[in-house]
């Protein structure tokens, strides 16, 4: 655990060393978030430069990174408790740097997909350990909540910076330089980790649950494949069935294993299972709505990819604000009210997008996306605070992996909202065809309106989950905890 005389008293602001540790750990999550969006913006040029045969082949540049990250989070979360979080974190950052460099130098589609898979494996090691290192460095209380708030804001900022930076770098230089940006940031994070993170850790004296690791990895791989890549390949049904069988077998094995990969007692805690569910909702609805906004700006308003990136600035700024005030909000009101308030703000911003017109309304676009981003980050900080509260130190690695998982399982929301938008747009397209100028744009916008309305309703449905099932679970506000100390 990090200790430093610059910290001051409990409840005080972060000291110099605290900030340096936090910047290092947030830098790691920032670069993995940046990676996803910066590559997404660069995909068209990547396809042209390397000669990808089709759009379905090109999507594997993104999918090849996402799949191993999601599949390996539980394994790396447990390994971090067994081998040491600092060691695995540094290995993950170093591996990410190397594979990013390789990705920027490749000469063929197959080589790039392989390098992206390597980045995904490294990102899983980073994701599983960064939160665990953060919760170890900042004990339960105001400093941990503030650290998680900064981390949530930086993660959202990584997405926005990627959409803008990817357009700028790709337009001015080459898509290969986007990989160079990742390497530079990764090297800085690695230097910070080597010099700032403590070198001695308490490790769990148990063996690795190999059957559980194999079943969890394969099941999550199949699930995320069904969400992100299975539809294009025509294997969604098979992948969903495989995921159900494998994950069912995983839970059966875990119930009998003496040292399970993910203890079922941990999963059964109300603070873990209900906050995890809320995390899936907030990530799924935010991710799906962000994709819909991108479609709106490019296909309805006709904006360029770079202009679309700037269109998300309101969301990014609001995310930073939410991360900055989350600790104070939670300290004053408590975790559950903060979680409910975040969901309500996200629902309000998302639902108000039904008023976005076919001709565009910049103030409304900025205001609604900002409300969504603000509420999302506040909800993320609150659910991660809840999920990681009241756990032993040797459980923080597993909890860190679980806290990252909603980002990937939440892709169900992206697929679901896209399906709603497509179905509604298809129905409207037939009714509007030839009836008025811009009928196709009107139909597309009608589909987007239906999808954001569904997203808002799903978010509202999650509010009573937080209010009923998490209230009374013993997660006190930091202020209450300090008063009781």
285 occurs within a structural domain: yes
Q: 162 and 248, same structural domain?
A: no
Domain membership of residue 5 (yes or no) is no
Among 207, 203, 214, which Cα is nearest to 74's?
A: 214
Q: What is the pTM of this model?
A: 0.76
Both 354 and 273 in a single domain?
yes
C-alpha dihedral over 160, 161, 167, 172, to 10 degrees?
170
The pLDDT, as a whole number, for residue 229 is 57
Examine the domain organization and report whether 30 and 161 are in the same domain. Answer: yes
Say which CATH number the domain at 361 has: 1.20.1250.20
Distances (CA, A) of 171 to 29, 174, 233, 254: 25, 7, 31, 50
User: Tokens at residue 357, please?
Assistant: 């017109």
Q: Where are the alpha helices (DSSP H) in 296-395?
A: 305-311, 313-333, 335-351, 362-387
Distances (CA, A) of 480 to 384, 430, 473, 477: 18, 58, 14, 5
Whether residue 178 is found in the same domain as residue 80: yes
Predicted pLDDT of residue 377: 87
- How does DSSP classify residue 474? S
Tens-place pLDDT, residues 392-441: 666 666 777 777 778 777 667 777 787 788 788 878 766 555 444 456 77
**Is 245 in the same domain as 322?**
no
| Domain boundary, last residue among 238, 260, 282 | 260
Residues 114 and 161 reside in one and the same domain: yes
Predicted confidence at residue 482, as pLDDT, reads 43
Whether residue 334 is contained in a domain is answered as yes
In whole angstroms, give the CA distance from residue 169 to residue 184.
Answer: 14
Per-residue CA distances from 291 to 104, 159, 295, 394 (Å)? 26, 12, 6, 37
pLDDT at 468: 81
Are 397 and 457 members of one domain?
A: yes
The confidence score (pLDDT) of residue 29 equals 81
Say yes or no: 142 and 70 in one domain. Answer: yes
Residues 318 and 363 occupy one common structural domain: yes
Is 188 found in the same domain as 234?
Answer: no
In which residue ranges of the chain is pLDDT below 70? 1-14, 53-59, 140-141, 156, 159, 163, 166-167, 170-172, 199-209, 227-236, 261, 305, 391-397, 410-411, 429-439, 471-485
Q: Tokens for 277? A: 């569910």
Reading the block at residue 3, the tokens are 């200790």
Q: Is residue 99 part of a domain?
A: yes
Give buried/exposed letters for 59-72 (b at 16+ CB in 10 A, else e). Answer: bbbbbbbbbbbbbb
What is the number of structural domains in the chain?
Answer: 3
- Give a yes or no: residue 9 inside a domain: no
Give the chain's mean pLDDT: 77
pLDDT value for 351:
93
> 376 and 335 share a domain?
yes
Domain residues for the domain of 169 are 15-200
Last residue of a domain, one of 260, 279, 298: 260
Q: Does residue 1 fall inside a structural domain?
A: no
Predicted pLDDT at 374? 92
Residue 80 lies in a domain: yes
């Amino acid at each position: 655990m990090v200790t430093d005389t610059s910290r001051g008293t409990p409840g005080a602001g972060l000291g110099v060393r605290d900030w340096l540790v936090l910047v290092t750990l947030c830098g790691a999550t920032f670069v993995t978030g940046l990676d996803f969006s910066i590559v997404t913006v660069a995909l068209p040029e990547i396809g042209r430069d390397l000669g990808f045969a089709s759009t379905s082949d090109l999507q594997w540049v993104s999918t090849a990174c996402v799949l191993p990250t999601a599949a390996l989070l539980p394994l790396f979360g447990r390994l971090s408790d067994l081998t040491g979080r600092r060691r695995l974190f540094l290995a993950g950052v170093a591996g990410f740097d190397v594979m990013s460099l390789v990705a920027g130098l490749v000469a063929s589609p197959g080589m790039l997909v392989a390098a992206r898979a390597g980045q995904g494996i490294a990102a899983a090691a980073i994701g599983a350990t960064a939160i665990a290192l953060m919760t170890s460095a900042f004990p339960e209380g105001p400093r941990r909540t503030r650290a998680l708030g900064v981390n949530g804001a930086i993660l959202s900022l990584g997405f926005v910076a990627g959409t803008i930076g990817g357009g700028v770098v790709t337009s001015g230089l080459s898509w290969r330089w986007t990989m160079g940006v990742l390497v530079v940031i990764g090297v800085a994070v690695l230097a910070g980790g080597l010099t700032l993170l403590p070198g001695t850790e308490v490790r769990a004296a148990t063996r690795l649950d190999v059957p559980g690791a194999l079943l969890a990895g394969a099941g999550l791989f199949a699930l995320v494949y069904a969400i992100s890549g299975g539809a294009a390949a025509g294997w969604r049904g098979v992948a969903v069935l495989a995921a159900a069988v494998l994950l069912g077998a995983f839970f059966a094995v875990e119930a009998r294993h003496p040292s399970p990969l993910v203890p079922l007692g941990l999963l059964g805690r109300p603070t873990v299972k209900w906050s995890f569910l809320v995390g899936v909702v907030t990530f799924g609805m935010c991710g799906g709505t962000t994709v819909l906004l991108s479609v709106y700006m490019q296909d309805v308003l006709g904006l360029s990819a770079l202009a679309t990136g700037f269109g998300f600035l309101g969301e990014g700024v609001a995310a930073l604000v939410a991360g900055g005030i989350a600790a104070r909000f939670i300290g004053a009101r408590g975790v559950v009210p903060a979680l409910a308030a975040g969901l309500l703000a996200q629902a309000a911003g998302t639902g108000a997008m039904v008023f976005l017109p076919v001709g565009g309304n910049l103030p409304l676009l900025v205001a609604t996306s900002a409300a969504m981003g603000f509420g999302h980050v506040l909800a993320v900080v609150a659910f991660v605070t809840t999920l990681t509260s009241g756990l032993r130190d040797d459980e923080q690695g597993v909890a860190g992996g679980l806290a990252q998982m909603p980002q990937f399982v939440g892709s169900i929301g992206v697929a679901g909202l896209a399906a709603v938008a497509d179905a509604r747009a298809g129905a409207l397209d037939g009714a509007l065809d030839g009836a008025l100028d811009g009928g196709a744009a009107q139909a597309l916008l009608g589909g987007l309106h239906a999808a954001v309305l569904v997203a808002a309703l799903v978010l509202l449905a999650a509010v009573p989950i937080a209010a009923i099932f998490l209230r009374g679970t013993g997660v006190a506000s930091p202020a209450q905890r300090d008063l009781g100390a």
